[in-house]
Structure 1
């Protein structure tokens, strides 16, 4: 999949990456430019099981996935073409370590024109997709799930804060965070 994605990019221009979750607040790569961006036909949702980073096999946590339908506001990062060969394997290892995501080239609308950006999406048929979770499921996960990078709650709150700092108000995420033990203390 990595080779196909690199081939689709082609190497002739700078590479754009669409960030909708932790890449916004922890990109871990150098970029030339960062723009507010919106993609249509996809939405951000806290519906991807995490058995290592934000949970364990015994107490799974959640991370964001981008699912078909709706629209999603996030950030588009432009990486210099000559930095891509060193940066892309690290980004791939971070996002594709478990091969859960489907890398796709999406059209992103930005204030300075449209760009085609690499995004890591998730199929609703993926075994990592949670399907529908009830409020009690989210309460339990926010209260208990913790992995090598911290809790699901910290991850969700960090993403919400980073989105707000960029002027993006994700009302669905705000509603979920109201279910956390801290919000009800």
Structure 2
């Protein structure tokens, strides 16, 4: 499914990184959700929001395989077009992500699945950094500072929010402890 084929009466957005704690758009409902077929990974060199071309940072992407628990937002129909425009401007500065609509299982006890807009990483993009060592990730996070602020703040806030959702991410926790 592509975003153009998403139901016109309902728009859901799946957040797995900073969208969880800083969506930047109005929403009607916020529910934990699970996406199958992709996992959260610090695999994107940030040259805009959390770094520069000369000193890139490192941000999260949805990479192939596994599953990811994040936050799913339902947007009112009259705000759907503006929300998608906003997200495309925010997430597609360098076109590192591929926009798609995927099924997300809501974790609210309802057993519902919803079609949600997701941004998955493009492994063929020059900014893809999926094979870095832990120490290389730490180096990029320490040096990164872009228009969104220090990369360390991004990693710390995301890790804190994951913990609030009951998600233990050992890699993110290790990075925070070593910043």
Stretches of 4+ moved more than 6 A in 1?
none
Q: Where in structure 2 are the equivalents of 1:1-185 lying within 5 Å?
A: 5-11=2-8, 13-110=9-106, 111=108, 112=110, 113-180=112-179
On the 8 A contact 2:100/2:118 being kept in 1, the answer is yes
Q: CA deviation at 1:158?
A: 0.7
Alignment: residue pair count:
176
Distance, in Å, in 2 between the alignment partners of 1:14 and 1:136 is 42
On the 8 A contact 2:3/2:100 being kept in 1, the answer is no
Q: CA deviation at 1:67?
A: 0.5
Distance, in Å, in 2 between the alignment partners of 1:7 and 1:143 is 39
Gaps of 5+ in 1: 181-185
Q: CA deviation at 1:149?
A: 1.2
On the 8 A contact 2:42/2:130 being kept in 1, the answer is no
The Cα offsets for residues 89-147 of structure 1, whole Å up to 9 and x where unpaired, read as 11211111222110111111113211110000002222211131123312322322211
TM-score with structure 1 length normalisation?
Answer: 0.88
On the 8 A contact 2:20/2:161 being kept in 1, the answer is yes
Query: Aligned-residue CA RMSD in angstroms?
Result: 1.6
